Structures are given as structure tokens and as C-alpha cells.
Amino acid sequence: MECIALKVDKDYRVFLPQAVLKRANWISGSEPVNGWLVVGGPGRLRLLSSVEAKSDAGWQSLSDAIDAEARRPIGSAIEFHDEASALVGLRLFAIEFSPPGPGWRLTLPRAIAAIMGIRPKENVFAVLLAQDRIEIWTLEAARASLATPLADLI
């Protein structure tokens, strides 16, 4: 496992270091590359290639749930959907990685940056590289995960 601290620039762009690009060999070439951002929780995201996403049964189930929720009738003007269902559409974002010049970069969707509390030039977040997965964590989420006593992990 490797952890890299990164910042977001004023336009919510994240410049990807070489360590990330080595793990994500699908981010290459001279043209933009499409991918997906999966929101695991308010402090944790995962980057997926389009190929990986489309071939994953879990990703397809999530995509289907988002489509179903968008078509679900609301009912009364005073009736609300439960919170988790109402925001299921914020769990999956199509993203584009921009090619080099000055480097490969990803622009975070502003809604996700706001939910995660990421503010340009202020916050540092962690990129975790493990088992060919790339995740973005807020430092708060990383700190919380380290609060579990070691004895509980072994």
C-alpha cells in the first residue's frame, strides 16, 4: 500500500503523480481518458477505468439503482424519499482525465468536493494505492480509520 498527499488547485483539478499513473496504466496516451468516480462515503472515493466499471457487476448494480431512483415517482408534495435513496445519484460520476501538459489531471466534481469538505488550495487529501485500486480519502476519513486499536485488527 502506498499513500500520497495531494492538493486541489483553484479549479478543483488534481494533478496525478507518476506513482498513480504507474498503477493506472489505463491513463495514458495523448487524448483525454474517460473513467468513473465511485463515492464510497463522505470521505472516500475510488477511481475506475471505463473498462473496469462496465465489466463489474457491482458497478452495474449501482448504475441500475441510480437509473431506477431517477424514474421512481415522488408522490405527494410533502413526501420525501429516504436520504440514502435520494442522493444515490451522487455515488457515481463519469469523469475525464485530461492529458499531459502540464500533467495528467482530474477535475473533481464540485458537488463531491463540497460534500467531502475539499476546498481549493486549503485541503490536503490522501490518494491510497493498494491492490491495483486508486482511492481518494479526506484526511478526516484516514484519521478515523486509524482510530481502531491495533489489537482489534489482529
Task: Please tell me the distance from the alpha carbon of residue 125 to that of residue 6, in angstroms, as a whole number.
Answer: 6
pLDDT of residue 36: 95
pLDDT of residue 122: 76
pLDDT of residue 132: 77
pLDDT of residue 50: 93
Name the residue type at position 2.
E
pLDDT of residue 56: 93
H helix or E strand, kind and range, residue 20: helix 18-23
Q: Distances from the Cα of 22 to the Cαs of 4, 17, 34, 149, in angstroms?
A: 13, 9, 17, 32
pLDDT of residue 154: 87
Q: What angle do CA 19, 25, 28 make, to 5 degrees?
A: 100
Q: What is the domain range of residue 54?
A: 2-153
> Structural domain tally of the chain?
1
pLDDT of residue 80: 82
Task: Please tell me the distance from the alpha carbon of residue 146 to that of residue 113, in angstroms, as a whole number.
Answer: 22
H helix or E strand, kind and range, residue 135: strand 133-138
Please name which of 98, 49, 32, 55 lies closest in space to residue 108, comparing C-alpha atoms.
98
Task: Please tell me the distance from the alpha carbon of residue 105 to that of residue 113, in angstroms, as a whole number.
Answer: 15
Write a three-state SS string for 81-129.
CCHHHHCHHHHEEEEEEECCCCCCEEECCHHHHHHHCCCCCCCEEEEEE
- pLDDT means per 10 residues, the chain with 154 residues, are 88 88 87 94 92 93 89 83 83 90 88 88 84 88 90 90
pLDDT of residue 38: 94
